[in-house]
Amino acid sequence: MSIDPVALANEMLEAAKDILAGDWSNHQGVLAAQSAAIAAQAVEIESLAAQGLVTEDNAEVYRGMIRDLVNGLKWLLVGLAILTIEKIINAFLDILKAALNTALGWGFL
């Protein structure tokens, strides 16, 4: 049996697409919560500014709060991306293993 490179690439692409779609549904809640926290902080800053509590003199404190929330989200996204990439690599290796082992008739991978 010979390996069809187009079919193999398509199988790998479908596996990646399924993983990405599944991960979105798994991570959507976490991302929504983080987005809501950032938005709530912006509303709080607006409210404090309307009360005269946020001034140009103390604005850096509030900018730091927003920066911290956004940086937290950044690192959350990096972690989620790494997990997703690992899943895709493992799926690709499983597909390659099956294709090569079947084509060769023995356990290459």
pLDDT per residue as tens digits for the range 31-84: 999 999 999 999 999 999 999 999 989 999 999 999 999 999 999 999 999 999
What pTM was computed for the model?
Answer: 0.78
Count of structural domains within the chain: 1
Structure tokens at 104: 């060769």
Residue 8's H or E segment, with its range, is helix 5-50
pLDDT of the residue at 25: 84
pLDDT of the residue at 48: 93
Distance CA 79, CA 15 (A): 20
Res 1 pLDDT > 80: no
Distance CA 26, CA 21 (A): 9
60 within a domain of the structure (yes/no): yes
Q: Which domain holds residue 75?
A: 5-96
Distance CA 61, CA 47 (A): 15
pLDDT of the residue at 26: 82
106 within a domain of the structure (yes/no): no
pLDDT of the residue at 101: 95
Distance CA 88, CA 18 (A): 9
